[in-house]
Structure 1
Amino acid sequence: MIRRFGETVVKGQSYQIRHGAYAILPLGGSLLLTHQAAPVPEFQLPGGGIDPGESPLAALHREVFEETGWHIAPMRRLGAFRRFTFMPDYNIWAEKLCHIYLARPIRPHGAPTEPAHTALWMPAELATEELGNAGDRYFVSDFLRRAR
């Protein structure tokens, strides 16, 4: 069974499945995150939707680069969670199936190319409070607990 986080499912509402790959990117006690300014400002794990025909790892590399400007070396898949939410960027109700990976940031190659995204480093403990969704917070907290 996959954990579910976020809004309560709206009875009678049709949801579109959206697969995504996201990364916990630790370096020196901090995590590389992205801040999305619009439509709702929030801190997020870098990552996003898996395009048709794209593998989760290819999507992870692409999305992390677009949102942070960094190249990464994937290490391992940590798990997945479901999240039911309205996505104003796409004007859809979505059941997001979020695959979470632990990866290593290798090197920056410039500013994020994704509009309204800013890359930043945040102390890992602070990220457990500041990340914008409960699924991201859960996986970061679990990663930190296991790392001790």
Structure 2
Amino acid sequence: MSAVKSPIKDESALRTTGDALQGGLVDLIDLSLVAKQAHWNLIGPRFRSVHLQLDEVVALAREYMDQIAERAVAIGVNPDGRVRTVADNTKIRQPDSGYISDDKVVATLTDTLAQIIARFRERIEATEETDPVTQDLFITLTAGLEKQHWMFEVQTQ
């Protein structure tokens, strides 16, 4: 039972939009955790610059996970950010345990961001007709993710 009357009247459109928001929430929660794990275990000559860039990724993920969860509630969908839900549904490859070289962190984040961006671009398409407000949120978020991807990718050249 929804505590909020949804502005999206079509049940199929609401389900599509809710699924897109939930998938995005899982991606962002796990991105923040993967980036923090890398941040704590980073070693190598580019430690400082990569360490600071990882903080930017975490901040971006945390900002937008909150916006996505609040958007879900605003349309009458319960966001689920529980650890078990994220663990069961994440598509992000988990980093190795222990210390991680700066080169490996850069490569991992480049790949991880590319995969997440592809999923957000799918969500942009999925919500074009079902909810343009959610689509707009996804567009803005994807621009931020693409900027971070570019900043990591240029370090692999």
- Scaled by the length of structure 2, the TM-score of the pair is 0.30
Larger radius of gyration between Structure 1 and Structure 2:
2
Quick check: which one's helix share is greater? 2
- Scaled by the length of structure 1, the TM-score of the pair is 0.31
Quick check: which one's strand share is greater? 1
